[in-house]
Amino acid sequence: MNTMSYKGFQARIEFDSEDEIFTGRIAGIQDIVGFHGDSVTALKSAFHEAVDDYIETCATIGKAPQKPYSGKVMFRIDPETHRKAVIAAELKGKSLNQWAEEVLARAVEEEERPAETRLSA
């Protein structure tokens, strides 16, 4: 999985072997904004154009370009994992919410590091 960043927006990049093109989609927004290119240079240009167009369109219609997040997350996990997480949090003197936020923040930081840095760590 590859990603690109531009003006604070990130996109997930994939290769379509049937059409022999790179495709991308901007992540973290409520709208669907995709782009494609037949080379890395074309893909990068298309991504920049898609972001710029998205920002301009949002300004024209008077809406914020990115979806706001509430900070509330609900997900289901295996009961045994839940038990272990509660114990881990308790042993650290934290609530499950505090502990989970710290763990998720570390995981996000790890994902944001360049791949070559992650491999050497």
12 shares its domain with 41: yes
22 lies in some domain:
yes
Residues 74/77/117/115 CA torsion (nearest 10 deg)? -80
pLDDT at position 111 is: 84
Residue ending a domain, choose from 61, 96, 112: 61
70 lies in some domain:
no
66 lies in some domain:
no
17 shares its domain with 53: yes
| 54-75 per-position pLDDT tens digit | 999 999 999 989 877 788 889 9
86 shares its domain with 56: no
Q: What is the pTM of this model?
A: 0.66
pLDDT at position 107 is: 93
57 shares its domain with 8: yes
Three-state DSSP at 23 gives strand
DSSP assignment letter at 96: H
Residue 1: pLDDT band with limits 50, 70, 90: low
51: domain range? Answer: 2-61
57 shares its domain with 12: yes
43 lies in some domain:
yes
98 lies in some domain:
yes
103 lies in some domain:
yes
DSSP assignment letter at 70: -
Using CA atoms, how far apart are residues 105 and 111, in angstroms rounded to an integer?
10
Residue 120: pLDDT band with limits 50, 70, 90: very low
26 shares its domain with 57: yes
The count of structural domains within the chain is: 2
How many Cβ atoms from other residues are within 10 Å of residue 58's Cβ?
15
6 shares its domain with 53: yes
Is the pLDDT score of 121 beyond 60?
no
